[in-house]
Structure 1
Amino acid sequence: MTAISIVQEEALKKYIIPLSKEEFDLLEQNILKDGCLDPLKLWANEKGQYVLVDGHNRLKICEKHGLDFKTEFIKFDNIEDAKIWMANNQLGRRNLTQDQVSYYRGLKYESLKKNNKGYHQVKSAGQNEPWTYEILAQEYNVSASTIKRDAKFAKALDRIGRTNPELKYDILSGTTKVKKGDVMLFADVDPNQKLTFKNEADLHNKANRLRNKMLTEIEGQFKQSEVDRIERAREDLKASDPMFNTKDSRVSRIKGQILSAMNKAIQHNDLTAFKELEELIKKLHSVLFAV
């Protein structure tokens, strides 16, 4: 057996979707018949460890049967580089489901954001370079909003996988039929909030409760917004309509209007102004002697 100590980094395991039992059995039969033809790909990290980045299932089979295998090293500057390579490697496969493609695009987006290699925002000739999600959208011929949704999907699936890795991979493999929208609800939940997922039904129930809670909060915000709007309108009305002001302020306002109408009536012999003056005097009388 190849004399080398290989490390399987926990942070990289989510980039590998386990094979189904049938797929694993077929791979095992082929390796037992022909040997391990494809080399395992390793990364020599800064700690001097040999980290596996491709060939997890082949390694498992070779160790099980004591078979030799070849290795090939790939150079990465850091673990985010390794993650991006692994995401690209998975996205290059032809047999991925749409949810799996979405998941790996989301993982790649998050790693690129952290790593910023070639995708960072800098000033160039007075212009901003495109955002990461814009570049990925162009690369995969999808909309920028699709890339953002992919990121939420990947984040939520990893959240589910913390307490139930099997459920996560069942969702990705399509074995468990869970709506993508239900999964994505958990992307924005407070990371400090403890969430456990027992099974598909438990996830569905939690998604419904979370959706109802969100709708209640939105409804409450809408109602509060309406209350605030009405209150603002009431304050504006008080400021503009004399009937909402104090008696002194109303008298003062009417006196000003009387003087203006009087000047207009005398200087321009304006009959309309005389009629307005009569109405204002009646209004002043009503304010001054109201019971």
Structure 2
Amino acid sequence: MQIIVMATTEKKLVISKELQDYIIPLNTEEFKQLENNIIKEGCRDPLVVWPKDNGSLVLVDGHNRYKICQKHDIPFNIKKIPFANVDEVKLWMVNNQMGRRNLTPDQLSYYRGLKYIALRKPLGGYTNVKAKGAAEISTSEALGEQFNVSESTVRRDAKFAEGMNIIQRSNPELKTKILSGAVKVKKADVQVLAEAKNADTISIRNEADLHNKAKNIRESLLNDIESKVKKIEQERITRAQKTLQDAEPIFLKKEDRVKKIKGMIISSINKAINKKDTKAIKELKKLIDDLAQVIFD
């Protein structure tokens, strides 16, 4: 991959909302500090761009610096990286963000989750193996080893990242406040959003709305589980009842046993005659013996 760093007078970099929303934006105080630094010292670090085939340059890293440079007419350098596709861009962005200092635990969790989501896809999945000839390990296991956390933590991180992205769609400011620590919410409330049946249409107004919707989702999930358990129990009962019906009628009263065996005899006779079923004839002989035993017992 050839990386080119160059000065530019190009003022019209392409801003992809999909990529811009992928990273945690700066809060007001952080943005102001960055702006003061750039005004005093200039834009020291190059902006990373993705050169497309049509000649456009898509901004990948440096959205805040680009905004400040545009506002104050400050020159900047760019670094061109020829990514293969948008998934490769996103993975680079996550790795770049995780390489920076002072990330909070929630921010680390968010980026671990994003990395897991990016790598678990069938194409371009995680290819590391434990040793030559060994079976390929799972994405969550590989990332767990990389970040020194458990495999289950990585999977929960993915739910957290998915939940944060759901919040992002309707309330990007709340997402920023949660990940910056300005607003405190239960992490489990964010994670459960990804489990909702209507996850694609959920809208979150504020922290209280998040808590209430998370509560409703949990209740819905619990109801689904209870419904599935009842269905399984009913299926077991039905199977047990059928087994008893098909079994020898030893638990019935003598009169009822005679009626049941008589009905089974008639059924066997019909199968033997109509379908020429030799097995039915054998069953018929056994049923007659059973009937005699019941009558003369």
Q: What is the TM-score with the length of structure 2 in the denominator?
A: 0.77
Instruction: Confirm whether residue 165 of structure 1 aligns to residue 172 of structure 2.
Output: yes
| Dislocated runs of 4+, deviation >4 Å | 124-128, 248-255
Residue number among 22, 25, 38 corresponding to 1:18 in the alignment: 25
Specify the alignment match of 1:240 in structure 2.
Answer: 247
Higher relative contact order structure (alpha carbons within 8 Å, sequence separation ≥ 6): 2
1:33 paired with 2:40, answer yes
Amino acid at match of 2:147: Y
- Residues 1:215 and 2:226 aligned together: no
Correspondence list, 1:94-243, <5 A: 94-114=101-121, 116-117=123-124, 119=126, 128-190=135-197, 194-242=201-249, 243=251
**Shift in Å at residue 21 of structure 1?**
1.5
Amino acid across the alignment from 1:110: I
**C-alpha contact 1:54 1:86 (8 A) present in aligned 2:** yes
Helix, strand or coil: the match of 2:49?
strand
CA RMSD of aligned residues (A): 3.0
Cα displacement (A) at 1:149: 1.8
Instruction: Provide the C-alpha distance between the structure 2 equivalents of 1:246 and 1:166, rounded to a whole number of angstroms.
Output: 74
Please tell me whether residue 44 in structure 1 is matched to residue 16 in structure 2.
no
Separation (CA, whole Å) in 2 of partners of 1:2 and 1:126: 48
> SS at 1:70's partner residue?
strand
Amino acid at match of 1:7: V
The secondary structure found in structure 2 opposite 1:7 is coil
Shift, 1:39, TM fit: 1.5
Q: Mind listing any 5+ residue stretches in structure 1 that lack a counterpart?
A: 260-279, 287-291
Tell me the amino acid that sits aligned with residue 3 of structure 1: T
Secondary structure in 1 aligned to 2:76? coil
Higher Rg of the two aligned structures: 1
Question: What is residue 9 of structure 1 aligned with on the other side?
Answer: 16
Query: Which residue is 1:78 aligned to?
Result: 85
Aligned to 1:66: 73
User: In the alignment, is the contact (CA less than 8 A) between 1:45 and 1:78 conserved in 2?
Assistant: no
State whether residues 254 and 284 of structure 1, in contact with CA within 8 Å, keep that contact through their aligned partners in structure 2. Answer: no
CA distance in 2, matches of 1:167, 1:220: 35
Q: Is the 8 A contact 1:161 1:168 kept in 2?
A: yes
- 1:115 to 1:13, Cα distance in 2 relative to 1, 3 A: farther
CA distance in 2, matches of 1:48, 1:133: 37
Unaligned 5+ segments in structure 2 are 1-6, 263-284
The letter of the residue matching 1:132 is T
Q: Secondary structure at the match of 2:201?
A: coil
Instruction: After superposing the two structures, state which structure 1 stretch, 107-116 or 3-12, moved more.
Output: 107-116
Residue 15 and residue 258 in structure 1: after superposition, are their counterparts in 2 closer, same or farther (change >3 A)? Answer: closer
Deviations 1:24-74 (A, max 9, x none): 111111112111111212121233221112111111111111111122222
- Pairwise CA distance, 1:87: 0.2
Cα displacement (A) at 1:125: 8.6
Q: CA distance change for structure 1 residues 47 and 109 in 2, over 3 Å: closer, same or farther?
A: farther
- 2:111 is paired with a residue whose SS is helix
Q: Is this contact kept in 1: 2:116–2:158, CA < 8 A?
A: yes
User: Counterpart in 2 of 1:274?
Assistant: none
**Partner Cα separation in structure 2 for residue 256 and residue 176 of structure 1:** 80
Tell me the number of residue pairs that the alignment of Structure 1 and Structure 2 aligns: 263
**Cα offset for 1:284?**
3.1
The letter of the residue matching 2:194 is A
1:118-158 Cα shifts (integer Å, max 9, x gaps):
63599x99864233223222221222222222222212211
Instruction: Give the direction of change, closer, same or farther, for the CA distance of 1:73–1:205 in structure 2 (3 Å limit).
Output: same
